[in-house]
Amino acid sequence: MSAFGIRPVGHRDIPAITRIYADAVEHGTATFEIESPDQAEMARRLEALLARQYPYLVAELDGAVVGYAYAGSYRSRRAYDWCVEDSIYVAAQFHRRGIGTQLLRNLIAAAQGSGFRQMIAVIGDSAQTASIAVHATAGFTRVGVLRSVGFKHDRWLDTVLMQRPLGVGDSAAP
């Protein structure tokens, strides 16, 4: 495999991001979304994140987007402004090649650089052992499991919650 690069997202990446996410929606449990959004909706979501200056990155291999990651609001109330939730999606044929790990490392650095203090991983399905391991390797601690909170692909799914401090974390006020 050639080396892949990580870069900020561009609007030209919407078709690839839409395809990668559609596969995750239709075949996976990383997201609890049931119907795949179209390109217009994915572009709207991208714009909303960029408007609030959240980091959004893509992994590129030989000129093709093979994965993406972004940080977004963990919750909408103002007291949560210093906390972000991460999302990482890698095209199925590129799983287990270190792309998700590199996306997460770069996302953590970007979120820290933006002044965020906590990052939360809300991992769909406790059977997502690869995602749990990637987050643990990046310094996340498992803080809880919400049992059977989603129903997808004819089965009940848990949500694993993991958390990581960013920068000085909670040792000082923002």
- Contacts of 70 by beta carbon, 8 Å cutoff, 6+ apart: 9, 49, 54, 55, 56, 57, 86, 87, 107
> Band of the pLDDT at 17, cuts 50, 70, 90?
very high
Tens of pLDDT along 98-156?
A: 999 999 999 999 999 999 999 999 999 999 999 999 999 999 999 999 999 999 999 99
Q: Where are the beta strands (DSSP E) in the chain?
A: 4-8, 56-61, 64-73, 83-90, 118-124, 141-152, 155-165
Dig out the tokens for 164 from the structure: 């990581």
Superfamily of chain region 4-165: Gcn5-related N-acetyltransferase (GNAT) (3.40.630.30)
Tens of pLDDT along 23-64?
A: 999 999 999 999 999 999 999 999 999 999 999 999 999 999
Query: Average pLDDT for residues 69-76, to the nearest whole number?
Result: 97
Helices (H), 28-98: 39-51
Query: 3-class SS at 108?
Result: helix
pLDDT at 3: 81
What is the model's pTM?
0.95
Q: Which helix (H) or strand (E) holds 107?
A: helix 99-113
Q: How far apart are CA 114 and CA 116, in angstroms?
A: 6
Q: Is 94's pLDDT higher than 90?
A: yes
Structural domain boundaries in the chain: 4-165
Q: Is 1's pLDDT higher than 70?
A: no
